[in-house]
Amino acid sequence: MPIAYSDDETMVLEFLDHWEGGNVDVLLGYFADGASYIDMPLPPREGKDQIRAYMDSVFSAFSVRIETLSIASRDRTIFTERVDYLELKSDPSVVVPLPVTGVMEVGDGKIVAWRDYLDLRTAEEGLGITIRPIQNA
């Protein structure tokens, strides 16, 4: 029997699939005005301008493919268990699988808040870089 996803779960799955294309404008279209996004333990980004700046910095350094392992929801909160594959653009032979748990709050078909929980050290060691927090503008 096929899995029946809620409209919110379907939207989140589509959003995560779009990361592979790296089109920031498409990704930002999934966010509500005033949305927030945080990769724990980095500083939060508030509003589309800060989210855009963060995504631009990510896509300038990496290609990203997201494999969603599990998705569940309750009310307007969507939980995902994922592996985010980060490919270093300066050396495409370096691809780091990064386990991530994501929590998105949605409203009116848009992402209102997004919190990702990950081990930053896994990314840093796998990529051979230090990830510095981007200061909020």
- Per-residue pLDDT tens digits for 45-58: 999 999 999 999 99
pTM given for the model: 0.89
Q: What are phi and psi of 10, to 5 degrees?
A: -60, -45
**Domain boundary assignment for the chain:** 7-127
**How many other C-beta atoms lie within 10 A of the C-beta of residue 24?**
17
Q: Which CATH code of 3.10.20.740, 3.40.1280.10, 3.10.450.50, 3.40.50.300 fits the domain covering 7-127? A: 3.10.450.50
* Predicted local confidence at residue 1, as pLDDT: 66
* Predicted local confidence at residue 124, as pLDDT: 79
**How many other C-beta atoms lie within 10 A of the C-beta of residue 82?**
19
In 3D, which of 52, 61, 49 has the Cα closest to residue 23? 52
H-only helix segments in 44-97: 47-61
Q: How far is CA 75 from CA 3, 72, 78, 92, 134, in A?
A: 18, 10, 8, 40, 32
